[in-house]
Amino acid sequence: MESKISDITRSLDFSHAETVDLKGEVKLLQQTKRENNTIIEGLKNRVEDVMQRMNNQEDYSRRNNIRISGIKKLPNGETWEQTAEQVSTLIRDKLQLPSAKLEHACRVGPVTRLAPRTIVARFEHFGDREAVTRNSRKLKGTGIFINEDLCPASQEKVKNQLPLMKQARTDGKIAYFKHMRLIIKERTGPQPPTDDGVAASGGGDEPPWTSYRSVVASGASAGVADVVPSTTHDVAGGASAGGGVVAGDGEVTNEAPVERGTSQHRLCRKDLRDRKKK
pLDDT tens across 4-17, in order? Answer: 777 777 777 778 77
Share of the chain above pLDDT 70, in %: 68
Q: Is 239 exposed, middle or buried (0-12, 13-18, 19+ CB in 10 A)?
A: exposed
* pLDDT, position 230: 33
Q: Which CATH class is domain 65-148?
A: alpha beta
Which residues make Cβ contacts (< 8 Å) with residue 116, sequence separation at least 6?
69, 70, 71, 72, 73, 107
Q: What is the mean pLDDT of residues 58-87?
A: 93
Question: Mean of the per-residue pLDDT values for the chain?
Answer: 74
Nearest CA among 209, 190, 275, 277 for reference residue 248: 209
Say which residue, 7 or 167, is predicted with more confidence.
Answer: 167
pLDDT tens across 24-34, in order? Answer: 889 999 999 99
Share of the chain above pLDDT 90, in %: 44
Q: What is the mean pLDDT of residues 145-161?
A: 91
pTM: 0.57
* pLDDT, position 135: 92
pLDDT band at 222 (very low <50, low <70, confident <90, very high): very low
Tell whether the model's pLDDT for residue 145 goes beyond 60: yes
Say which residue, 85 or 235, is predicted with more confidence.
Answer: 85
pLDDT tens across 79-113, in order? Answer: 999 999 999 999 999 999 999 999 999 999 888 88
Q: What is the mean pLDDT of residues 260-273?
A: 57
CA gap 119, 146 in Å, rounded: 10
CA gap 9, 53 in Å, rounded: 65
pLDDT tens across 110-135, in order? Answer: 888 888 999 999 999 999 999 999 99
* pLDDT, position 196: 41
CA gap 74, 94 in Å, rounded: 19
Q: Is 138 exposed, middle or buried (0-12, 13-18, 19+ CB in 10 A)?
A: middle
The domain segmentation of the chain, as residue ranges, is: 65-148, 152-277
